[in-house]
Structures are given as C-alpha cells and as structure tokens.
C-alpha cells in the first residue's frame, strides 16, 4: 500500500506512521527524520536545510524533491511506503505524481489526522520542553502552524477531489487513532498487533 499521511505539525503523524509501518510492513519515509539526520551528520543537504528548519520554514522544493526521489528509488519501497512530510507544496505534489506515474504507480490513499489547533499548540510546546528541538520553540511552533495552513492545508482539497483523502480525528489515545486510521483504509486492526506496535 502506498500512503501519504498528512496533518499539521503535532498531529501525531510520526507516531501513527511508525505504527502503520509495523502493521502494514511498508517503510515509513519521514522527510523530517532524513533532514535531521543530515543536519546531525553535517552533510551538504543538512547544512542547506538547517537554516530553514530552525526558522520553521519549509526546505526548498529542489532539495526536498531530490532527497525524496532518491529515497523512493530504493528497493525496499517497491511494494509500498508511508510518506510523512512530503509533499507539502503543490509543486511537490506534481513531482511525486510524475515520479510515481513514470513507474506505473500511484498513491492508494491520503489519511489526514485532524486535531484542534489548541491541542496542537499544547502538544508541540510540551515536546519542545522535553526534547529541546530548535524547531519547537513557542514562536517557531506558531509559525510552523501558519506555514502549514498557508502552504500545505490547501493540498487537502486536491486530494479530496481525487477521492484519496481520508480525514481521521487525531485526538484520543494512540490506539484509538490507529484503529480509526485502519477503519478509514477499510482494514481492521487486531488488538494483539496494536500491542506489539505500541
């Protein structure tokens, strides 16, 4: 299954994508994780991306497209994948569709986690206090949510028109959200599987 999991910062995309990875056996491809790994390793990509990430801005399309195309060319994604954090702009949507289309592939569904903004602020500021991430300070958190609303939220209408969007409430326990995701994807979750993936 080829999925794109969407939702604003703090919605729980990473947590749920990892659970889906366990349950579906498809690799979780997180642009944020890849960028942070490059920053930590001080690669050229990491140095180029760090300034944008620290300000809560999106990394420019050309850098992001190149990175994701390289990752999606790896053998482990041939049977499926769970994209997290890409595409975030209309240009990236077109690039992804072109990349998949040239291989005779397409997304199967776009589950989107829906969480009230106040809850997002609480989650992100709590995460900032725990992790010390430079991109989770209060001002940057607000900016990241504004950037999402301006640049990425409009993509939901695009995927809704293509009958791919599956909006799922992202509040409640992680188990509850996972169950809703699977219901939205027309699958059922075995509680034993949930326990092993928690």
Which amino acids are annotated catalytic?
Answer: 13, 88, 127, 133, 144
Contact indicator for 44, 37 with CB cutoff of 8 Å: no
DSSP, collapsed to helix, strand or coil, labels residue 112 as strand
Nearest one of 112, 87, 82, 93 to 12, comparing CA atoms: 112
Contact 151, 89 (CB under 8 A): yes
CA–CA separation, 119 and 60 (whole Å)? 28
| Dihedral sign, Cα of residue 43, residue 67, residue 5, residue 18 | negative
Residue entry with tokens 């169950």 = 179
Q: What is the largest CA-CA distance in the chain?
A: 45
For 84, the 3-state DSSP assignment is strand
Q: d(Cα 60, Cα 65) in Å, to the nearest integer?
A: 9
Instruction: Centre a 10 Å sphere on the Cβ of residue 183 and count the other Cβ atoms it contains.
Output: 13
């Amino acid at each position: 299954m080829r999925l794109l999991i969407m939702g604003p910062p703090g919605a729980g995309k990473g947590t749920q994508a990892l659970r889906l990875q366990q349950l579906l056996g498809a690799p979780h491809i997180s642009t944020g994780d890849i960028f942070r790994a490059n920053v930590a390793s001080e690669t050229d990509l990491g140095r180029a991306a760090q300034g944008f990430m620290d300000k809560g801005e999106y990394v420019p399309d050309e850098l992001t497209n190149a990175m994701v195309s390289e990752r999606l060319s790896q053998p482990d994604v041939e049977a499926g994948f769970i994209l997290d954090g890409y595409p975030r702009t209309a240009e990236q949507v077109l690039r992804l569709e072109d990349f998949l289309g040239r291989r005779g592939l397409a997304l199967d569904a776009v589950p989107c986690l829906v969480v009230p903004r106040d809850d997002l602020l609480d989650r992100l500021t709590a995460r900032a206090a725990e992790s010390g991430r430079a991109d989770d300070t209060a001002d940057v958190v607000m900016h990241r949510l504004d950037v999402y609303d301006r640049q990425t939220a409009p993509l939901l209408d695009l995927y809704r028109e293509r009958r791919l969007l599956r909006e799922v409430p992202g509040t409640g326990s992680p188990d509850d959200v996972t169950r809703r995701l699977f219901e939205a994807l027309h699958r059922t979750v075995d509680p034993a599987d949930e326990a092993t993936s928690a």
